[in-house]
Structure formats: C-alpha cells, structure tokens
Copies of this chain bind each other. A is one copy, B any other.
Amino acid sequence: MERIYEDSDLYIEWERADIPWVKIFTREPFKELTECPDALRSRLWRVYETVEKAMIDYFRPDKINMASFGNYVPRVHIHVMARFENDTHFPEPMWGKKQRESRLDLPDFEGFEKLLLRRLKTL
C-alpha cells in the first residue's frame, strides 16, 4: 500500500488494483463514521470530494464508486474507485463477480498524485 498523502487528520493510500483506487483513512482510528468528531468527519467528506473530483478530471471514468465497510478491520476508511465500462467488474462493484479480462489504457498514476496533492494543499 503506497501512501500518497498525509496530514494531522487523514492519510491516503493506493489500493493495489487495475483501476485507480485509493483509500482515505482517519489517522486516529474510529469504528464508525458517526464516531468521528464532527470537524474530522466534515474534513473527511471534503477530502473525499476532492479525491472524487480529481479522479473524474484526470481519469475521465464512466462512474465513481465509493464505499466504507471496515468489516475485517473495524476502522474508518473510505474507498474511492474510478470505474470504466470495460474494467474487470463493471457494472458490478469491485467486490462482486468478475465480468471479463481487461487491460485499461489509463494516464499515469503519478500525474494523478500530483494533481491531487496540489488540490489538497489549497483545500
């Protein structure tokens, strides 16, 4: 898991996957979103929105998917995925049944990291 970003509240990591897929963690662990202090949860939503918008602008996906489960590790983290009609699982969620073999032709992930960091800095 490669870390993209961190500050005093949150950090962001890549999920190893064929699609662009990151996870946003609160630095202090909380089991549920509503257990986070209000200010932290507001910031989490704002950072989520920044990640979503950067993915849309950079990767031009067919759809953004987001999820917060934490059943294996009961600690708040939000998955953000850029989905494409020809990816391995579309239109199923990434946790559903694989639909096909797929090799996506995407812009390089480092460019996305740069865009995201620039936007998070001015958030």
- Does A71 contact B63, Cβ atoms closer than 8 Å? yes
- Does A68 contact B69, Cβ atoms closer than 8 Å? no
Interface residues on A, range: 20 to 34
- Does A49 contact B53, Cβ atoms closer than 8 Å? no
CB neighbours (8 Å) of A56 from chain B are: 32, 34
- Does B71 contact A33, Cβ atoms closer than 8 Å? no
**How far does the alpha carbon of A59 sit from the alpha carbon of B84 in the complex, in Å?**
36
**How far does the alpha carbon of A68 sit from the alpha carbon of B52 in the complex, in Å?**
12
**How far does the alpha carbon of A69 sit from the alpha carbon of B63 in the complex, in Å?**
8
Enumerate chain A interface residues (CB-CB to B < 8 A): 31-34, 41, 45, 48-49, 52-53, 56, 63-72, 74, 83, 90-93, 95-96
